[in-house]
Chains A and B, each alone.
Chain A
């Protein structure tokens, strides 16, 4: 064995170097954004995108923040993503309780329906939603977007939770029943507390997915006051009015919350990805 390993010695560092290079390559765009977000426009014009900034200047970021009222976009995004995450977890739990533990008749078909709802392209829903929401005054409201994504995310949550609820220990449910608990009490006092880790993962998923949504919020939220972070940045980018340093500043402001969530939720996230990967 020792000789085998010894023979591989140079090789193993080559593999490591290759992987480090790959990781570096993945990070280069982030580095370039940071580099230029703190660069003065004149410095950029003179030295291009790859030079180190002559001085760190956050004025560009501040200007951009104020120009687009970025704080407001952050609040919108947090409000929408937070509400959707809570509501979608609640709806997923209710659905999965009926399907996985209640085992209602025809549950397979209901499950297939939710799965299809999760797979449907939003393009096939967007125009009727746009039209209907205009009729009922939900167009260009944050509530409208919350309603849409609650069910879009809950469709996935129902699918995932139902399969874990099917495997829920029956003895516990039976014991609670014998003690006189009704269906609501079983749900609230037993099923929810025991499946709290899975619900936490779902919450994180729903929050981040909703935060990152682009297509439907782009269509439904037209006024600047209601727009989310990705929509506001995407629309500005589409207008092609920003100079290079402003573009980097805007990108940096879009990156920071995402990376913050990533760092905060990293453990839950990777664990959760595994939960979703294997049926």
Chain B
């Protein structure tokens, strides 16, 4: 309690009408409030990140002294087919976590908000919304446990279901077949992710002026017409936020891969984050893992900058 006032408290008796008093004391007085956050940021984010970049320029097994090798890790990385494959899989995850949930989320949110909410009552809509949102609250590791067992080749619920309805020939080793494992993982991620855009879009739709929708309806616009020309443009900020946050989340995916497939079979579902984890802790190629993590960071920051630029330009125009 005694930290701040000593610095520069403007005497309350002083008539500082011209300059607002809360600023007249100078800004230095507020710097002290940043100290805990800044120290933590330095210790947990800034220094470790700088170290990570440093490590990526060395050969190091985690014990002993790192050997400086310059950009060698990056040179190796860009020639490593496993690394490129992991990024290709990442594109699949962006589709599964950002693109498909956004598209499906728009339709579901509009149907719930504009249709079910108005014709069957808001309670029905919010119960349905809660059902769709439920997978979002699960720890991702738990969601992975649920699905790795449902998708198990022997005794898994999905294959048992296919058998029961006479489609046994469609039964697969969903996570163990290199040709379909990535698609299985994508399916799980769509299930996990869908509720997030639905909830955010429905909240955004409350902002869209109902008069616009009514006008469009009176002009004879179909439901789809109103959806495309009134609802979707009206919640454009939400669509941007969802696309950005989900794409970043997709690039960072680790938990589902760890629990569902461990990057396998034969690397068919490996992603950069799991690839770096493997290099850090399983293969003890720490320098190489750090290089993977650094490239991933650069990619995520570029994506963020790109999205924010596009968003700003849209708002300006």
Chain B interface main SS type: helix
The closest CB in chain A to the CB of B8 belongs to A183
Neighbouring B residues of A132 by C-beta, 8 Å: 47-48, 51
Neighbouring A residues of B297 by C-beta, 8 Å: 120-121, 123-124
Query: B94 contacts the other chain (Cβ, under 8 Å)?
Result: no
Given contacts A23-B128, A102-B30, A251-B145, contact A94 B204 (CB under 8 A): no
Query: A50 contacts the other chain (Cβ, under 8 Å)?
Result: yes
Given contacts A126-B280, A212-B140, contact A95 B34 (CB under 8 A): yes
Contact segment of B75-83, B95-103, B109-117, B166-174:
B109-117
Of the candidates B41, B160, B195, B300, the one whose C-beta lies within 8 Å of that of A50 is: B160
Of the candidates A24, A104, A244, the one whose C-beta lies within 8 Å of that of B27 is: A104
Rounded to whole Å, the gap between the CB of B27 and the closest CB of chain A is 5
A119 near B134: Cβ-Cβ < 8 Å:
no
Rounded to whole Å, the gap between the CB of B138 and the closest CB of chain A is 5
Query: B69 contacts the other chain (Cβ, under 8 Å)?
Result: no
Rounded to whole Å, the gap between the CB of A28 and the closest CB of chain B is 9
**From A130, A187, A231, A274, residue with most partner B Cβ within 10 Å:** A274
Complex: A157 Cα to B267 Cα, angstroms: 37
Binary flags per residue of A1-19, CB closer than 8 Å to B gives 1, else 0: 0000000000010011011
Query: B281 contacts the other chain (Cβ, under 8 Å)?
Result: yes
A184 near B1: Cβ-Cβ < 8 Å:
yes
Of the candidates A20, A128, A229, the one whose C-beta lies within 8 Å of that of B139 is: A229
Contact segment of B177-185, B224-232, B249-257:
B249-257
A237 near B138: Cβ-Cβ < 8 Å:
no
Neighbouring A residues of B64 by C-beta, 8 Å: none
Complex: A259 Cα to B27 Cα, angstroms: 45
Of the candidates A49, A250, A277, the one whose C-beta lies within 8 Å of that of B241 is: A277
Complex: A111 Cα to B243 Cα, angstroms: 22
Chain A interface main SS type: helix
Complex: A187 Cα to B29 Cα, angstroms: 13
B37 near A154: Cβ-Cβ < 8 Å:
yes
A94 near B36: Cβ-Cβ < 8 Å:
yes
Of the candidates B20, B156, B164, the one whose C-beta lies within 8 Å of that of A174 is: B20
Of the candidates B20, B115, B138, B148, the one whose C-beta lies within 8 Å of that of A170 is: B20
Beyond contacts A92-B37, A123-B292, A237-B259: 18 other A-B pairs, Cβ-Cβ < 8 A, are: A22-B108, A49-B157, A99-B34, A117-B41, A119-B300, A121-B273, A121-B300, A132-B47, A151-B44, A155-B41, A179-B12, A214-B141, A214-B255, A219-B281, A229-B142, A230-B255, A231-B141, A244-B149
> 15 A-B residue contacts at CB 8 Å?
A12-B119, A19-B108, A22-B132, A23-B131, A49-B155, A117-B41, A127-B289, A183-B33, A184-B5, A234-B144, A237-B144, A237-B145, A238-B262, A277-B204, A278-B241
